[in-house]
């Protein structure tokens, strides 16, 4: 099962995966960025801005969870490219439709459909790039994909400053449709073609749960990614609320906090690939970035009293940089599993982490702030999440030099 691999990290597959993830992140976060403007234009009250906004995000999250399973299985049964084409076509059409919504019910349904589409992009892209790139450069290639892709959040925020929210959705959909033309030049993974001829189960989701060793690998692969969505889903998204409890009198714009955070995440995702390459270890690079995340969490909770909005934005940028291990985390997930269920694992793992925001992270934060207060609940939740993640990383296997040419 040998295959000629492109030795450059600037291959067509890497370029297309990076641009695809750029559009993916743009569309994924666009609702959070234009939430207030879009819902106000639908004549909602201030109270409804919060309740309906949370409901729409929940619909999108359920779409991501369901889509992660559907696209993951399809990636192993029908091919990585089929997912890349299908997912971006679905969420591009959905985002164009988002620009036409007239009611919150329409908004919910279309964000659910968009969520299903958005779930397939990263896992399929990382799987394809991992299989087409030599193992010595795998981390660099996947970090480049994530680093370029995550700037989509910055692009969405900048466009919001100059265009109507409906136009922003049209732009996202148009970018996706244009990207489909580039994808014609990308070849399918040779590993996938070879495993299709083998007499093994392909894309069987239950294989991740019916074997103790595989389930352990799968669970640990999810838990090592928790800090990213704790940082984004709690600390950054609610930075304005934390600011009130920290004595910051200036108005804090959560959209601006997201922009600073994702600029930091993008830079972190590129640098962690270089660091992993230099250390020849995924886990050592992870530990260093966990340390950076903890450092900025301490700054977040201790240095904001009587601070300024700009100080909050810069700390959000630092938190984003520390949490910028998304590419390595997803790459490790892909490297843990055989070719016959690799896309299933690599696509469901990041979406399971996103789902943990609703299943574990937010409920934990809500429980702790109810028992204490908003600020105290935040830092206790941070300690618990980081403890879980570090233990999971310690128990995870090193995958830097792992040959991916195997089956489960």
Residue 340: what pLDDT?
87
Q: Which residue has the tokens 């990207």?
A: 179
Of the listed ranges 36-40, 44-48, 272-276, 298-302, the one predicted with least confidence: 44-48
Distance CA 396, CA 47 (A): 44
Statement: residue 228 has pLDDT above 90: yes
Q: What angle do CA 390, 391, 395 make, to 5 degrees?
A: 115
Answer yes or no: CATH 1.20.1250.20 is held by domain 12-180+205-395. Answer: yes
Residue 344, both tokens? 């299933």
**Alpha helix ranges (H) inside 252-281:** 254-279
H/E segment holding residue 359: none
Tokens linked to 283: 């886990």
Mean pLDDT of 81-89: 84
Q: Which candidate, 131, 138, 143, places its Cα nearest to that of 4?
A: 131
Residue % of the chain over a pLDDT of 70:
92
pLDDT band at 195 (very low <50, low <70, confident <90, very high): low
- What are the tokens at 133? 């790139």
**Which of the four pLDDT bands, split at 50, 70 and 90, describes residue 253?**
confident
Which residues touch 278 (CB under 8 Å, ≥6 apart)?
A: none
DSSP secondary structure of 36-52: HHHHHHTT--HHHHHHH
What is the predicted pLDDT for the residue at 8?
61
User: What's the pLDDT band for 120 if we cut at 50, 70, 90?
Assistant: confident
Alpha-carbon distance of 58 to 150, in angstroms, equals 22
Task: Give the residue with greater pLDDT, 171 vs 200.
Answer: 171
Within 13 Å, how many C-alpha atoms sit on residue 144's CB side? 19
Q: What is the pLDDT, as a whole number, of residue 78?
A: 83
pLDDT of 200 above 90: no
The Cα–Cα gap between 404 and 67 comes to 25
Q: Of 99-108, 286-295, 320-329, 397-406, which range is least confident?
A: 397-406
Per-residue pLDDT, 236: 92
Q: Residues 236, 321: contact at Cβ < 8 Å?
A: no
Confidence of residue 296 (pLDDT cuts 50, 70, 90): very high
Annotate 303-336 with DSSP letters as a single string. Answer: S-TT--HHHHHHHHHHHHHHT--HHHHHHHHHHT
Note whether 95 and 28 are within 8 A (CB): no
* Tens-digit pLDDT profile for residues 364-402: 998 999 999 999 999 999 999 999 999 999 999 998 888
For 172-194, the pLDDT digits (tens) are 999 988 888 776 666 666 666 56
**pLDDT value for 173:** 93
* Tokens linked to 59: 């619909």
Percent of the chain as helix, strand, coil, to the nearest 5: 80, 0, 20
Answer yes or no: are the C-beta atoms of 112 and 56 closer than 8 Å. no
Helices (H), 119-210: 121-132, 138-149, 152-162, 165-183, 190-196
Q: What pLDDT is recorded for position 50? A: 73
Q: Is 127 helix (H, G, I), strand (E, B) or coil?
A: helix
Bigger pLDDT: 305 or 270?
Answer: 270
Which region holds residue 43: left if phi is over 0, alpha if psi is between -120 and 50, else beta?
A: left
Q: Is 204 exposed, middle or buried (0-12, 13-18, 19+ CB in 10 A)?
A: middle
pLDDT of residue 238: 85
How much is the average pLDDT of 89-112? 94
Flag whether pLDDT at 198 surpasses 70.
no
Mean pLDDT of 207-223: 94
Q: 3: pLDDT confidence band, cut at 50, 70 and 90?
A: very low
Give the mean pLDDT of the chain: 86
- pLDDT of 372 reads 94
Specify the residue for token string 């998204």: 237
Average pLDDT over residues 74-79: 84
Q: Categorize the per-residue pLDDT at 322 as very low, low, confident or very high, splitting at 50, 70 and 90.
A: very high
Lowest model confidence (mean pLDDT) among 209-218, 235-244, 288-297, 315-324: 235-244
Asked whether the predicted pLDDT for residue 139 surpasses 90, the reply is: no
The residue whose two tokens read 């250390």 is: 279
Q: Are 107 and 367 in contact (CB under 8 A)?
A: no
Find out whether 60 and 354 touch, Cβ atoms under 8 Å. Answer: no
First to last CA, the chain: 15
């Amino acid at each position: 099962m040998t295959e000629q691999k492109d030795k450059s990290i600037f291959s067509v597959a890497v370029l297309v995966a990076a641009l695809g993830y750029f559009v993916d992140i743009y569309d994924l976060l666009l609702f959070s960025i234009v939430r207030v403007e879009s819902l106000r234009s639908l004549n909602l009250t201030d109270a409804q801005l919060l309740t309906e906004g949370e409901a729409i995000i929940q619909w999108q999250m359920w779409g991501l969870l369901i889509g992660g399973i559907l696209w993951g299985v399809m990636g192993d049964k029908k091919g990585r490219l089929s997912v890349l084409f299908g997912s971006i076509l679905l969420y591009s059409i959905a985002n164009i439709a988002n620009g036409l919504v007239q009611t919150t019910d329409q908004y919910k349904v279309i964000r659910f459909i968009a969520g299903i589409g958005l779930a397939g992009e990263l896992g399929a892209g990382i799987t394809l790039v991992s299989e087409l790139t030599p193992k010595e450069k795998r981390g660099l290639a996947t970090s480049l994909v994530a680093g370029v892709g995550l700037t989509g959040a910055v692009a969405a925020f900048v466009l919001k400053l100059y265009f109507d929210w409906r136009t922003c959705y049209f732009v996202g959909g148009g970018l996706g449709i244009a990207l489909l033309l580039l994808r014609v030049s990308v070849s399918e993974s040779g590993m996938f073609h070879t495993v299709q001829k083998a007499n093994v189960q392909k894309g069987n989701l239950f294989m991740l749960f019916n074997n103790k060793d595989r389930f352990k690998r799968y669970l640990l692969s999810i838990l090592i990614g928790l800090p990213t969505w704790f940082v984004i889903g709690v600390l950054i998204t609610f930075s304005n609320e934390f600011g009130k409890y920290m004595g910051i009198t200036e108005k804090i714009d959560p959209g601006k906090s997201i922009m600073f955070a994702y600029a930091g995440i993008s830079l972190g995702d590129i640098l962690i690939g270089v660091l992993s390459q230099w250390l020849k270890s995924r886990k050592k690079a992870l530990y260093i970035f966990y340390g950076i995340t903890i450092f900025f969490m301490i700054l977040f909770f201790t240095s904001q009293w009587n601070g300024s909005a700009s100080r909050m934005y810069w700390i959000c940028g630092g938190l984003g940089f520390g949490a910028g291990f998304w590419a390595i985390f997803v790459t490790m997930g892909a490297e843990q599993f055989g070719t016959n269920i690799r896309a299933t694992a690599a696509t469901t793992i990041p979406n399971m982490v996103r789902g943990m925001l609703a299943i574990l992270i937010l409920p934990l934060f809500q429980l702790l702030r109810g028992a204490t207060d908003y600020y105290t609940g935040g830092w206790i939740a941070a300690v618990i999440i980081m403890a879980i993640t570090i233990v999971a990383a310690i128990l995870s296997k090193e995958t830097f030099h792992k040959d991916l040419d195997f089956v489960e």
